[in-house]
Structure 1
Amino acid sequence: MTENTFPVYKVDAIVTFFRTEVLTGQEAKHFTKNDLAPSPKPDAVQRLYMRILQLLYRFKPECHYMVPFSENIQHPQLHEWPTAVMSVYLRMRQFLRMCYVYDFSLNDLLAPKVKRTVTILSGIMNYLHFRKQRLDMTMGHQERFREDMDKLQAYSRGTKEAQKKMDKLTTIPPEQQAEARELDSALSDLQTNTMHQYQEVNAINENIAEWKTEMAEKSQKLTQLKVDVATLKENIGKLKSQIVESPEEMKIQMEKMKENVKNIKLAIETADERLVGLQSDVQGVTQSEADIQLIFKLLQDLQSSMNKTQQHQEEAQALVCVYEAQQKELKNHGVEEGQLKRSLGMKMDKESKQHIRRQKKKEIKDQHIEDVLGQCDHVHQKREQIADQIQERDRETQHLRSQITNLRDTCSQETEKAQDLFDRLLAALDHFHKRIQNHVVEGNDDIVKMTANF
């Protein structure tokens, strides 16, 4: 007790703490500083220890007064007070080891001192502070564990619901399976047809591009021919002004002009033929464009259906992502649960070790209690022997008292008789004394007479 591992509090702090944390009702009101200082009251200290044991072990004060012996005991009312004191002493000795107080004795209950009582109560106060902190921590851990369990249950319900939705989205009902197969086959046919039509459209577009280039070239040539015709007409006008009226030259020029005109007409005819061919090609292209537009509408419808299916797939993927996230959270919670289980296992191991230590201590204490009970039994046997001797002595004293009363009666009777005899003797002696005095007086008178005669 010289070197404590806990602070020694003041008496006022101890009184306020135990009034607020341990005692209740009238006991808290009546518990004051005078119960501990300057001279602690044994009844108040014992009552306080009983309330501390009730707070820690749920051991009510009435249970301390129960006699723990199984056999019948003579005069059980004589054991009530020492039974309560011994019960409080044994349990406080067991408890105060956890408070690092190892030298608790019976004098701390029967004749407590101020310094010892303040030190013991300071150790108990320190342990109760530690107990309150640990209870708050365990309550916080329990609340967090409950919240995690609620989250885990909510996540498991969400995952189950998402799994059900995914099953509903992925599984096709039996009445729609035939239709789904037909739609799948039609969709595959449409995809193949659209691929062929895309290829044909690409080929037609390439042909149209080639034709457009050819038409551009032909139009350029046609414009060039028109320019040439215009230039020729200008040249003809110029030549007409410069014509020499020589018929031979005129004929030669006219023939040249006719040949040129024929060539131009042939070129125009060929251009017209090509133009008609190009117009027919353009009509075919417009018709093909109409067909392509129809195919494009069909493709748009197919694209909308594909978009819907894509949306369903995206929803399914989102649900899968949510499911994976919840699975990860579930794994995290499982890891946390494993950690909590490991910590719980470590705590259980510690508790089991502490339980084994407590069992060993309990066995030692039980052995000590058995020894004490054996000593108590031996004391009770001696007490019974002494009680028998006391009863015999009581009988003897009663017999002696009866003899004494009888003797007193006989003595009183004899004293009365002796008193009577004494009174009679006194009366006789007085009578004899009077007679002797008379005889002496008479003798003196006779002597005087005789002396007078002599």
Structure 2
Amino acid sequence: MAENTFPIYNVDAIVNFYRTEVLTGQEAKHFTNSDLTPTPKPEAVQTLYMRVLHLLYRFRPECHFMVPPVDNLQYPEYHEGATALMSVYMRQFLPVCMVYDFSLNDLLTPKKQRTLTILSAIMNFVHFRNQRMVVILFLCCQRADLERLQTYTRANLEMEKKIQMLTTIPPEQQAEADELAAEVAELHATNMHELQENVLNENIAEWKTKIAEKSQKLAQVKVDISSLKEEIGKLKSQIVESPEELKSQMEKMRENVRIIKNSIKEADERVVELQNMVQNTTHAEAEIQQMYNLLQDLESSMNTTKQRQEEYQELTIQHEKVQKELKNLCMEEGQLKRSLAMKLDKESKQSIRRRMKKEMKEQHIQDCDQIHLKREEMANKIQEISRETQQLKAKTQNLRDIGSKETEKAQVQAPPECLLHSSLEDLHRRIEMQTMDLKKDVVKMSANF
């Protein structure tokens, strides 16, 4: 916990975050800074942890009592909720938040700095989770849009193919189709004229009927007025009316006349408006025909643009394929260059090794020649030494023969025997010394050889 990979927030920031994002209802209202400082309350901290688990993993508070405890406690029934929280937090959640040393004391007797670091770690994880959820939703929307676009493009292509199949006329039926198209155009023109005339006649007939009805009503009103006038004259002759009543009746009659005149004017204005509307409809139909032609031109241009787009896409695909092939060829060229360089290095090394072997062989041959020469010299020396030894052996044999003869003479002559005996012993000693020296020389020569 000394080196954290997440920022440690202030108490105010932590309280605002948990009140807005985690807690709800009365818990958010009652959660304040005093629950965390100066000494955090265990109940508030445990409720925070429980609500975080419910927010992130849908781990409801009633499920905490079904989680088995991790630590071997003496009385586990006293710590059911706390041990469940500790097991869930220590095993699954807090290692994700980069907190690996969560213990039971952090729930039962929490400390200020410790709880602030744990809450800031959870806060950092929640921020990261929200950002990732936004990115994933955006990607999902993009995927859905792409799938829809693909389906729509496929449907458009299929419909275009169908339209082409339906619009394409075989050459055998082309003349009949042209004749039918001309007849259809003539019928369409005649129908349009007839429809326009029929519509105008219908409108005129409707307005004539309306005008006739209104004229009938006016005639009835006039008849009523004349009858009323006659009745008024009769009544005037019978009854002397007050001038006020006469004035009121006259005003009412004037108002009725004004209303009738206004209705007649409105009918005339309506007829004029209908005539203007008929003229406007004709102009609108002409404009609609122009717009229809423009739309047909736009459809043809859109089809051409679609074809060009398809050609452009095909060209881009071909260009990408060519670029990939070029990249592959460049890679193969680099690999071939490397292999050639490796082969050249191997060949150079092999040539160097061959040269070294040749030099070693030449040196070996020279050494062998020198050894053969030395062997020949040593053989010559050994032959000379063997000759000398043979000569010495012959001399020694002669000397022995002479010594034996002299001993015989000495036996004959007694006084000089002592002198001869001593001289013979000296000769034998010298001969032995020479033979020993020759043997040593032969051993040395053999060792050198």
Name which structure has the greater RCO, CA cutoff 8 Å, separation 6+.
Answer: 1
| TM-score above 0.5 | no
TM-score bracket, shorter-length normalisation: 0.3 to 0.5
| Structure 1 length-normalised TM | 0.38
| Structure 2 length-normalised TM | 0.39
